[in-house]
Chains A and B, each alone.
Chain A
């Protein structure tokens, strides 16, 4: 099962001390452990939300709103994609994640929808197309 593991935050480090070398080393070791266990598919960090935009798709005309957005606590600051056997396994890995006070005190774990999860509405053609895209996106199992 694949999981998206989301670190909450605005991406703006002003809310706490900047990560020091010691913390970075711990995070590096954590990422290495994820890799060695075959859990890690990938990891990304997002730029501060002030550089982002939102597009509202309601009615016929899309509306564009510039960041920053007020819901700082709920925004995505960064994420991993993991391949694990269960939600519980993902939770155990998250509990081992290094934590720096002031930087996203919450991590959200969300299961990725696999093509089978779409049910019969997903035609065979769309299914195969999806597999093709996933293969392009990054050699997943």
Chain B
């Protein structure tokens, strides 16, 4: 099973405050453990939402809204993609994660869809396309 593990934003991450050298070192060690255990498929941090934008869809209309966005706690600050045997295993790994923020922080664990979850309507042609693109973001094996 693959999971997306989302580090939620905080006031600090949205202000563009970068991690200290100690946190980067601790996080580097943690990432190394994830890699050694064969769990880590991908991982990235995001710039504050002030460098982003949103596009709203309504009928044929497309409206662009520039960041920053107000819902700080709901924004994504970073993510990993992990391959583990169960949600419980993902939770155990998250509990061992160095606190990624100077203050309180929250990490969300969400299961990813796999090709087989889509059933018969997921034709071999669609699967081939998905394999091509999915495998680039996170090799499945």
Residues of A within 8 A of B (CB): 2, 4, 6, 11, 24, 28, 31-32, 35, 40-47, 49, 51-59, 62, 64, 69, 71, 74-76, 81, 87, 90-91, 94-95, 97, 99, 101, 105-113, 117-119, 121-123, 125-126, 129-130, 133, 136-139
Contacts and interface: CB of A to CB of B under 8 A. Distances in A.
A53 B54 CA distance: 26
Given A55-B95, A55-B106, A123-B25, A138 B135 contact: yes
Interface in B37-93: 40-47, 49, 51-59, 62, 64, 69, 71, 74-76, 78-79, 81, 87, 91
A76 B105 CA distance: 18
B103 interface: yes
A51 B76 CA distance: 19
A28 B129 contact: yes
Interface of B, secondary structure class, is mixed
Contact of A43 (B32, B55, B56, B137): B137
Interface string B97-141: 101110111111111110001000100001001001111111100
B52 A137 contact: no
Contact of A91 (B53, B57, B79): B53
A130 B78 CA distance: 14
B112 A43 contact: no
A107 B56 CA distance: 7
Contact of B46 (A47, A91, A113): A113
Given A87-B51, A95-B55, A108-B54, A74 B111 contact: no
The 7 closest A-B pairs by CB, nearest first: A42-B137, A58-B104, A74-B74, A137-B42, A113-B45, A47-B111, A111-B47
A84 to B, nearest CB: 13
Given A44-B81, A52-B108, A54-B106, A110 B46 contact: yes
A4 B46 contact: yes
Nearest to B78: A113
B82 to A, nearest CB: 11
Given A41-B137, A57-B104, A52 B51 contact: no
6 contacts: A4-B76, A40-B133, A42-B135, A54-B106, A56-B104, A110-B52
